[in-house]
Amino acid sequence: MKRLVVLGGGESGVGTALLGKEKGYEVFVSDKGTIKKKYKDVLKHNEIEWEDEKHTASKILNADIVMKSPGIPDKASMIHQLIAADIPVISEIEFASKYTEATIVGITGSNGKTTTASLTHHILKQDLDVGLAGNIGDSFAKQILEYDYGNYVLEMSSFQLDGIVDFNPHIAVITNITSDHLDRYDYQFENYIASKFRIAKNQTKEDFLIFDADDKVITKWLNDHPVQSTLLPFSLENVINNGAYLDKENIKITIDNNQIIMPTANLALEGKHNIKNAMAASTVAHLLKIRKQTIRESLENFQGVEHRLEHVLKINKVQYINDSKATNVNATYFALESMEAPTVWIVGGEDKGNNYEELFPFVNEKVKAIICLGVNNEKLIHNFGNMVDIIVETQFMSEAVKIAYKIAEAGDNVLLSPACASFDLFENYEDRGRQFKDSVRNL
């Protein structure tokens, strides 16, 4: 009996453990932190051996195969020991994909991947049997075990892609690439780009790569490192013969002379970046033969993703907007770009080596006050202190919202778009976003 060791007892880890047991592996789950009660209960109920708050080397280094959760860096000493012992270390996506015949759409990118994956799933589910997994919802492994869909949309981080060997999505999407998570890639942007492009590494000419042709990082990499896949670019700037582009107020998508035209005025999501997300999702749907009318209707009634430019409430004619999912500068760039009114901006958290320069024009033009919400706000004050009349520091969301309420006037926006990770003051970006919404409702 082969031994599967799962490092990390979260969503992907427990899903992999369950699928592994079903497929005849002897399974052991080990987590250096604390496993949440709901996951412990599942492991106990399924009689899977586990440990938390430690890694017992003797129980791990005897594995035939190891699945590590995306949160564990490759630099961790246990990973070094496994690699030295020649034991394969893979991601949940790699492990689970061996047990399904489904058509897989893999979506990655520095920003927009959750919106694009959710939107793609929303369109496809109108006509197809389709699951949504990866970085979102129930784990891919668990879905394969419980209800193997005919199709999957997988939102994939670079960390998940780092752990693939044979995984090959029939359709891959790269929304964009901007510097993010460089702390995990030896502060080498090239390493991070290479990681994103792993999504296409096993593709053949029968497969498709959909990508942003306006993104110079992507186009340069493709020129220097050609892929096997059939390329379907999308662009707001240039005419695209095979792929998607913006023709005045219409999105035009052409695949093998079959064209679909959609007015951007009817899109449920606002902002230029969401036109791109709509192009990517519609191109996938067009490839999978979804009816044109279905694609149009789905783009018009899509509700959006929680914590991504989410309109919370209007109080005294001030709109409160939750963009807690903006954990890097590029995401906040899109948020500020889409602001049509004077904005009180709540920003800050755990900085991942941010360069704030690209935000300067928007801050000068649109931001009337800045509220820094982080343990260390020095860099923010240094960068933006001279651009606005009011810049305030706090370490409590409730206080940040109260300050914003005092500053904002009728017609203004209050925008939470942190441009940073949340771990200095919050559990995760969802916790940060929910605290923001609760604080706004408590006004």
Does one domain contain both 34 and 145?
no
**At CA 120, angle to CA 413 and CA 167, rounded to 5?**
120
Does one domain contain both 50 and 137?
no
Domain boundaries, position 248? 94-301
Element (H, E) at 335: helix 329-337
State the CATH number of the domain containing residue 276: 3.40.1190.10
- Biggest CA-to-CA distance, the chain: 68
| Count of the separate structural domains present in the chain | 3
411 vs 407: CA distance, rounded Å: 12
Q: What is the pTM of this model?
A: 0.84
The model's pLDDT over 155-213, given as tens digits with 9 standing for 90+, comes to: 999 889 999 999 999 999 999 998 766 777 777 888 889 999 999 999 999 999 999 99
Out of 301, 324, 358, pick the residue that ends a domain: 301
Does one domain contain both 115 and 244?
yes
Does one domain contain both 65 and 25?
yes
Predicted local distance difference test score (pLDDT) of residue 270: 82
351 vs 421: CA distance, rounded Å: 6
248: CB partners within 8 A, 6+ apart: none
Alpha-carbon dihedral sign for residues 119, 125, 130, 136: positive
The model's pLDDT over 198-250, given as tens digits with 9 standing for 90+, comes to: 999 999 999 999 999 999 999 999 999 999 999 999 999 999 999 999 999 99
Helix, strand or coil for residue 164?
coil
Q: Which residues pair with 142 in a beta bridge?
A: none
What are 58's two structure tokens? Answer: 């003797």
Determine whether 87 is exposed, middle or buried from the number of CB atoms within 10 Å of its CB (0-12, 13-18, 19+): middle
Does one domain contain both 216 and 289?
yes
365: CB partners within 8 A, 6+ apart: none
DSSP assignment of 40-51 equals HHHHHHTT-EEE
Predicted local distance difference test score (pLDDT) of residue 303: 82
Measure CA 37 to chain center.
26
What proportions of the chain, in percent to the nearest 5, are helix, strand and coil? 35, 25, 40
Predicted local distance difference test score (pLDDT) of residue 344: 97
Out of 259, 275, 301, pick the residue that ends a domain: 301
Contact yes or no for 60/87 (Cβ under 8 A): no
Does one domain contain both 108 and 199?
yes
Half-sphere exposure of 197 (CA within 13 A, CB side): 19
DSSP assignment of 82-131 equals HHHTT--EE-HHHHHHTT---EEEEEE-SSSHHHHHHHHHHHHTTTS-EE
Does one domain contain both 130 and 146?
yes
- Positions of the chain with pLDDT lower than 70, given as ranges: 180-181
Predicted local distance difference test score (pLDDT) of residue 271: 83
Does one domain contain both 182 and 99?
yes
Does one domain contain both 315 and 208?
no
Does one domain contain both 280 and 334?
no
State the CATH number of the domain containing residue 32: 3.40.50.720
Q: For 42, list phi and psi in degrees, rounded to 5.
A: -65, -45
Out of 90, 106, 136, pick the residue that ends a domain: 90
Does one domain contain both 258 and 370?
no
31 vs 48: CA distance, rounded Å: 14
Predicted local distance difference test score (pLDDT) of residue 178: 85
Predicted local distance difference test score (pLDDT) of residue 181: 65
375 vs 117: CA distance, rounded Å: 33
Does one domain contain both 238 and 322?
no
State the CATH number of the domain containing residue 402: 3.90.190.20
Cα–Cα nearest to 144, from 95, 105, 107, 108: 95
Contact yes or no for 418/347 (Cβ under 8 A): yes
Contact yes or no for 166/78 (Cβ under 8 A): no
